[in-house]
Structure 1
């Protein structure tokens, strides 16, 4: 059967074009080091590659989370170590102060030293890590503890601080209207040593502040904090100087004003579905009937009062405080060890994922070079054999 010259030339041209395309692909594989450039190159491989890359990104994010978690845990542990050393020093002072050979004047000197260490302990309770309070549970932007002082500026009590109100976009409009409350609550609220009548149906932030200021609870101050963003002002009411807010009618509670909850766990995801608590509850150390703050205040007052029995009781208090701190550090250390193990597992998993991705995507350079050489040979042979197909034309003779 006779085959037309045009068909032959078209076939040769197509074959040469396909050979050139394969040469180009092999050269591209060599220059990039990968063999999948488009999904059409290997649909199954491209799909697997996407899944592997997603797993690698997730793995790397978990490792970043672990780095942040361990950084916070290490900082908290250092803080607790400082607090433990302070309590050890205080126990030594209590033991010395309980001696019958110490006179009242020396005990007063010891009391002043205890007072300084009390100030240090309070500052430890307010410690921040990267701008956030470490003993405030999940309310890390709120100061966890409020130190109550007498007229001489001496700490007489420490309790959970009062968090600021929710953010409102107006300070002069009734709070109930701004919050969209159908039945705004009203009633008396005990703030510090005074009671204040508040009605959210009619009272604005300015009105509430004025009512509290008029009642003048001892040591209490109120401020309206203003923030401006994109030209829009927002406002918060903050009550400071007391840890006492009794709100039976949920009046201030509707504004989210209340004592900071230091018990909530701050979790960090360190693996797929694996969460680890990275914070330490302030409740374990600084709250309850026998806490660090109360024990220090009792010791200071006992030394000032030359009360030997109370001083001796403080020795036990300091021992209990040491036990609490050591227990909290032990729990923290166990969590940190768990996170370290998880990091090791993730690092190994990343190596496996990277290897699988390499097998899926990376070109075998030696094989690719061989294929390129073979294809170039085929192309050159096709060129030579194709010359017989393209017959001379009149134009060839004229040239």
Structure 2
């Protein structure tokens, strides 16, 4: 095989170019600590990174859903606890008013107190998280409860707000985070409120017949309504626990996927620095050798 000066020069320049490309690639990797910058760097790792990034994106969204759901339900649980406390206060006042020892004026005064408590309940029914009403169903930008005199209307709907934690069909029973007006206050979203208004009306009348009604029917309705509120809060608590556990699992998955990404993409910096130094040394040595090779010509033999 005939080796000419041109062949030697070409081979040298080709090797030098490859060395520069390797050095440039290592410098690019050191710049951000990543092995892969394009699929051609390592097709297998590139596919693995794409899969991991997709999984991380989906898992991050479900993790955020879990956080949003817990925030929504914690706000709802707080409101339900306040409702329960007010119902207890109302019962205490009704017991006091119906014990037969109060005159009509005293009973009416208790009625005025309970009227104020009913207003508090309506305000709790209009609790918001951000700009969304928590008891309005999917009409969460509409004020759900409006009181006018002794009439309370519910302007929300009965639809559930779902925040799923996994792919697939959304299930209102499994993925819902809200309580509607009906869930909290019974039929039409106002049944319990109407019962409370009826109690208030009997108190404001204050006759002995009214006091008798309060001691029997009124207190019985209060017990039933309070139990209904507690039952709704208990069901909410079960979903809160489920979302909390799911959120913890999702957080754990995020950690695992992030570690897999790092293992697949992160550069072994000490090794890369060593490789860069070696490449630079090879490059400098090659240049020194080239200085001698490239000077040789026919004139050197004349």
TM-score by length of 2: 0.88
In structure 2, relative to structure 1, the CA distance for the partners of 1:127 and 1:395 (3 Å cut) is farther
1:288 paired to 2:191: no
Q: Could you tell me which of 199, 216, 219 is aligned with 1:315?
A: 219
In structure 2, relative to structure 1, the CA distance for the partners of 1:272 and 1:356 (3 Å cut) is same
Alignment match, 1:277: 176
Shift of 1:353: 0.8
Shift of 1:39: 1.6
TM-score by length of 1: 0.68
More helix per residue: 1 or 2?
2
- CA deviations 1:23-65 (Å, max 9, x no partner) are 1212222222111111211122222212222222222222222
Q: Is contact 1:125–1:286 with CA below 8 Å preserved after alignment? A: no
Q: Is contact 1:265–1:277 with CA below 8 Å preserved after alignment? A: yes
Q: Secondary structure at the match of 1:159?
A: strand
Distance 1:23 1:395 in 2: 36
Q: Is contact 2:185–2:229 with CA below 8 Å preserved after alignment? A: no
Q: Is contact 1:285–1:291 with CA below 8 Å preserved after alignment? A: no
Unpaired segments ≥5 residues, structure 2? none
Shift of 1:67: 2.1
Unpaired segments ≥5 residues, structure 1? 150-154, 162-259
Distance 2:262 2:169 in 1: 28
Q: Which moved more, 1:295-304 or 1:94-103?
A: 295-304
- CA deviations 1:164-186 (Å, max 9, x no partner) are xxxxxxxxxxxxxxxxxxxxxxx
Alignment match, 1:359: 263
Shift of 1:309: 2.2
Alignment of 1:323-334 (within 5 A): 323-334=227-238
Distance 2:299 2:68 in 1: 77
Distance 1:113 1:14 in 2: 94
1:38 paired to 2:38: yes
Distance 1:32 1:143 in 2: 51
The RMSD of aligned alpha carbons is 2.3
More strand per residue: 1 or 2?
1
Distance 2:272 2:11 in 1: 27
1:268 paired to 2:163: yes
Number of aligned pairs? 291
Alignment of 1:178-257 (within 5 A): none
Distance 2:176 2:144 in 1: 18
Alignment of 1:75-114 (within 5 A): 75-114=75-114
Distance 1:274 1:342 in 2: 17
- CA deviations 1:271-293 (Å, max 9, x no partner) are 33485211102102223399321
Q: Secondary structure at the match of 2:163?
A: strand
Alignment match, 2:130: 130
Distance 1:353 1:267 in 2: 26
- CA deviations 1:317-362 (Å, max 9, x no partner) are 2212221111111111111111111111111111111111112211
Q: Secondary structure at the match of 1:270?
A: coil
Alignment match, 1:208: none
Shift of 1:148: 4.2
1:345 paired to 2:245: no
Q: Is contact 2:45–2:265 with CA below 8 Å preserved after alignment? A: yes
Distance 2:130 2:258 in 1: 33
Alignment match, 1:57: 57
Q: Is contact 1:76–1:134 with CA below 8 Å preserved after alignment? A: yes
Alignment match, 2:120: 120
1:376 paired to 2:275: no
Distance 1:18 1:349 in 2: 41
Alignment match, 1:299: 199
Shift of 1:386: 3.6
Q: Is contact 2:107–2:203 with CA below 8 Å preserved after alignment? A: yes
Q: Is contact 1:159–1:287 with CA below 8 Å preserved after alignment? A: no
Q: Secondary structure at the match of 2:153?
A: strand
